């Protein structure tokens, strides 16, 4: 591990907030109560809106699809007309009132979140992964890029953007380090998985230490970090209206470096990104190598965010064109080949194999015998989802939460597919939500398969940790997806479940068991993203206009000309 010292930018101190109501007191949403047009608060924000409104059709390399369905008016169109986040209220130092008295759990969560703040030379730069002193620290005393996302959203929603700005600038500096694993030098654009502040009490100095995968268990570089970084930069810009951060030459360069990594040409025949196992939230061997949905959905979202943030100057223009082309190919590929519903399942069940040439229906030569038993019962009549992975003769039929929620938020899923994903969650509530939201993936792998796929990993035994464990952090993604699809009642049900146990159990990292009834075997307590995820869910449900920070409208130009199956046509 290498250590370097870096300067920081000034920031303000964070402030505490008030308690709020319990979720059961929150009324159902009436989307009609939001104004037709966003409030125009200032010039900067107007400019930033026009950023977000840049559509693929405005770009030279785009040719529109054959058909567009003007009749398809979905509820997701509403959120863009919601007002900007109230984080812009003038009195930042006034504790936010949630309009109701007494939710000790919210107050406790805010206190707990503030205790996790990590300072570098006097400025907050992130939040530690977990504050549990009873377990071995390993790397839970570090600031993880992916773990900081819900913390960042909570601070943005609460009108405290400075820590987010510091984090973005600090991680950008880390990106510029020379990174090596043994004698092999990593690409320039790689963002760290995590970093840590080292204090030297004798010399009274502070230095940063970052991990790009060279210390991580399994030695895998985090592909998701760079994507989350871009997504967070857009969330910051959207929430504050401050375009000056994204416009900085170093931010533009940071984005270009990340993009050159994932847009580079190689031997690929698919527009999806080829990944090693363990390169994302599931950071251990779990059979997610190849083209995992989590990375493909984050890739899509990061590309869309970069499209609105990149300047169209001499250097940026080329990237914008490459992004547009890739988005088209990627959305087509994902919507066609990763999508599974009853109709599609039936088609695969009847697939012929060994087809050659362009006329092949079973393009990847998937053998119907590889369909797992559980999928036939799991698939509801109405509903569908993006499966875990698609590659040559490979379909991983497992349902992964993060990828499906991000697909909804980024509008990688069409409105019909988004609705179908929510239908599936509703009809398979017991399996996917159970007693503790939310399964990281479903189902667990067991016995011989577990031995082969995980390499006998004792942490990932069936229904534990990454192997079918339940992760409270995923609640914020579900809540955002629920609001975007106009189904806040689903999120409300999930939050009610979390409120029964999460604080009482001291905010565990994950739960074990088929319905998530048991605190995870090796789960950390006081896990920051469990705390922040809860806060973000509650704040979003309270004020759905926050959704705009983390969701992108459907780009109607990317609508598919074809209807593949029943769940696309409500
Ligand atoms: C575990 C999780 C990973 C997370 C880290 C810190 O390794 O799998 O996603 O970032 O803990 O909380």
Locate the ligand 1 atom nearest the alpha carbon of residue 528 and give its number: 12
Confidence at residue 137, expressed as pLDDT on a 0 to 100 scale: 79
Q: How far apart are CA 188 and CA 165, in angstroms?
A: 22
**pLDDT at residue number 139:** 84
Ligand 1 pocket: which of 127, 129, 219 to mutate (most atoms <8 Å of CB)? 129
Q: How far, in Å, from the CA of 110 to the mean position of ligand 1?
A: 21
Residue nearest to atom 7 of ligand 1 (CA): 283
Residue in 127, 283, 528 to alter for ligand 1 test, most ligand atoms within 8 A of Cβ: 283
Query: Residue 218 has what pLDDT?
Result: 81
Tell me which fold the domain 7-27+49-568 belongs to: Glycosyltransferase (1.50.10)
From ligand 1's centre to the CA of 467, what distance in Å? 13
Ligand 1 center from residue 39 Cα (angstroms): 38
The Å distance, Cα 534 to ligand 1 centre, comes to 17
CA–CA separation, 135 and 139 (whole Å): 11
**Neighbouring residues of 50: CB distance < 8 A, sequence distance ≥ 6:** none
Angle between helices 314-333 and 249-263 (to 10 degrees): 40
Instruction: Return the biggest CA–CA distance within the chain.
Output: 71
Q: Going by CA atoms, what residue is nearest to atom 12 of ligand 1?
A: 129
Residue pair 275/291 in contact (Cβ under 8 Å)? The answer is yes
Burial code (b: 16+ CB inside 10 Å, e: under 16) for 326-338 equals bbbebbbbbbebb
Which H helix or E strand runs over 253?
Answer: helix 249-263
Helices (H), 463-515: 475-484, 488-501
> What is this structure's pTM?
0.84
366 Cα distance to chain centroid: 29
Distance 177 CA to ligand 1 centre (A): 23
Q: In this predicted structure, what is the pLDDT of residue 133? A: 74
For a pocket test of ligand 1, which of 126, 140, 147 has the largest count of ligand atoms closer than 8 A to its C-beta? Answer: 147
pLDDT at 570 (0 to 100): 33
Are 484 and 547 within 8 A, CB to CB?
A: yes
Atom number in ligand 1 closest to CA 146? 10
The domain locations on the chain are 7-27+49-568
Q: What is the pLDDT of residue 405?
A: 98
Atom number in ligand 1 closest to CA 280: 9
- How far is 162 from 39, CA to CA, in rounded Å? 23
What residue ranges line ligand 1, CB within 6 angstroms? 129, 144, 146-147, 281, 283
What distance in angstroms lies between residue 46's CA and the mean position of ligand 1's atoms?
37
Give me the residues of the chain with pLDDT under 50, please: 1-51, 53, 55-102, 562-564, 566-570
């Amino acid at each position: 591990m290498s250590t370097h010292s870096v300067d920081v930018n000034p920031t303000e101190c964070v402030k505490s907030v008030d308690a709020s109501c319990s979720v059961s007191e929150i009324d159902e949403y009436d989307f009609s109560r939001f104004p037709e047009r966003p409030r125009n608060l200032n010039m900067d924000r107007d400019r930033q809106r026009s950023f977000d409104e840049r559509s693929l059709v405005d770009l030279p390399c785009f040719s529109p699809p054959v058909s567009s369905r003007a009749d398809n008016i979905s509820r997701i169109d509403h959120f863009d007309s919601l007002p900007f986040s109230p984080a812009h209220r003038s009195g930042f130092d006034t504790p936010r009132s949630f309009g109701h008295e007494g939710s000790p759990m919210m107050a406790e969560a805010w206190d707990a979140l503030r205790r996790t703040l990590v300072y570098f030379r006097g400025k907050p730069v992130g939040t530690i992964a977990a504050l549990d002193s009873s377990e071995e620290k390993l790397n839970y005393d570090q600031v993880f890029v992916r773990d900081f996302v819900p913390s960042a959203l909570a601070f943005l929603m609460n009108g405290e953007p400075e820590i987010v700005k510091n984090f973005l600038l600090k991680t950008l500096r880390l990106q510029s380090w020379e990174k090596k694993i043994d004698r092999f030098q990593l690409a320039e654009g790689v963002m760290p998985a995590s970093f840590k502040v080292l204090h030297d009490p004798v010399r009274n100095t502070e230095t940063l230490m970052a991990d790009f995968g060279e210390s991580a268990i399994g030695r895998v570089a985090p592909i998701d970090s760079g994507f989350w970084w871009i997504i967070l930069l857009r969330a910051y810009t959207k929430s504050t209206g401050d375009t000056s951060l994204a416009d900085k030459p170093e931010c533009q360069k940071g984005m270009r470096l990340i993009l050159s990594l994932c847009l580079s040409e190689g031997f690929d025949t698919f527009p999806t990104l080829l990944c090693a196992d363990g390169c994302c939230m599931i950071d251990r061997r779990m059979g997610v190598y190849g083209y995992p949905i989590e990375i493909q959905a984050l890739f899509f979202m990061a590309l869309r965010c970069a499209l609105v943030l990149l300047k169209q100057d001499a250097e940026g223009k080329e990237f914008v064109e490459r992004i547009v082309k890739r988005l088209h190919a990627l959305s087509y590929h994902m919507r066609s080949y990763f999508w599974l519903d009853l109709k599609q399942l039936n088609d695969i069940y009847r697939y012929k194999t060994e087809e050659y040439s362009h006329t092949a229906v079973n393009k990847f030569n998937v053998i119907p015998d590889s369909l797992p038993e559980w999928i036939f019962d799991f698939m509801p009549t109405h509903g569908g989802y993006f499966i875990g992975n698609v590659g040559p003769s490979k379909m991983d039929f497992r349902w992964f939460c993060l990828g499906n929620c991000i697909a909804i938020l980024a509008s990688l899923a069409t409105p019909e597919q988004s609705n179908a994903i929510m239908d599936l969650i509703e009809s398979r509530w017991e399996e996917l939500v159970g007693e503790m939201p939310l399964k990281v993936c479903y189902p667990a792998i067991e016995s011989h398969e577990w031995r082969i796929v995980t390499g006998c990993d004792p942490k990932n035994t069936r229904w534990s940790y990454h192997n079918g464990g339940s992760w409270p952090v995923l609640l914020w993604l579900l809540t955002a997806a629920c609001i975007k699809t106009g189904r806040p009642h689903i999120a409300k049900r999930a939050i009610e479940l979390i409120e029964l146990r999460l604080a009482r159990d001291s905010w565990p990292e994950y739960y074990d068991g088929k319905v998530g009834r048991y605190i995870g075997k090796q789960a950390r307590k006081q896990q920051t993203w469990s705390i922040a995820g809860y806060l973000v869910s509650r704040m979003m449900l309270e004020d759905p206009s926050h959704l705009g920070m983390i969701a992108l409208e459907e780009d109607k130009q990317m609508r598919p000309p074809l209807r593949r199956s029943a769940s696309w046509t409500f």
